[in-house]
Amino acid sequence: MSRINDVGGMTGFAAIVQEPDEPPFHADWEAHVLALNGALIRRGIYNLDEFRDAQERLPVPQYLAASYYERWFAAIRVLLVEKGVATAADLELPHG
């Protein structure tokens, strides 16, 4: 099953935007997502390949519309539910 992440060598996409002096993160929440993913992997909740697989299983329109760290966050949410760490309802709770 060819997945939407696997587009190397495929033509028809818009040009890649080159960002001079690109910062590691464009918003604080992106750094939190990076840290959260690392913590979950180190805790053994899931492994790196399960994380990659979860990104590849995102619905294609969602994958293509999402930024890099939005894909990460979506995959983390998928895995938290699949691994029984949280319910889908838990993830919708407002934070406060």
Partner 1 sequence: MADRFAPGDRVRTRAADPDGHTRLPRYARGAIGTVVERAGAHPLADERARGGAPDAHAVHHVRFAAADLFGAGDHAVVVELWEDYLEEAP
Name the residues that contact partner 1, by CB under 8 A. Answer: 1-2, 6-10, 46-50, 52-53, 56
Classify residue 73 as exposed, middle or buried by CB count within 10 Å of its CB (0-12, 13-18, 19+). middle
- Say which residues have a Cβ less than 8 Å from residue 41's Cβ, sequence separation at least 6: 47, 48, 51
CB of 55 to partner 1, least distance (A): 9
Q: Which is nearer to partner 1, 60 or 89 (CB)?
A: 60
Q: Of 2 and 18, which CB lies nearer to partner 1 in the complex structure?
A: 2
State the minimum distance, in angstroms, from the CB of residue 37 to partner 1.
15
Q: Report in angstroms how near the CB of residue 53 gets to partner 1 at its nearest.
A: 4
Q: Report the C-alpha gap between 90 and 87 in whole angstroms.
A: 5
Alpha-helical segments (H) within 17-82: 28-42, 48-56, 60-65, 68-82
Smaller CB distance to partner 1: residue 30 or 71?
71
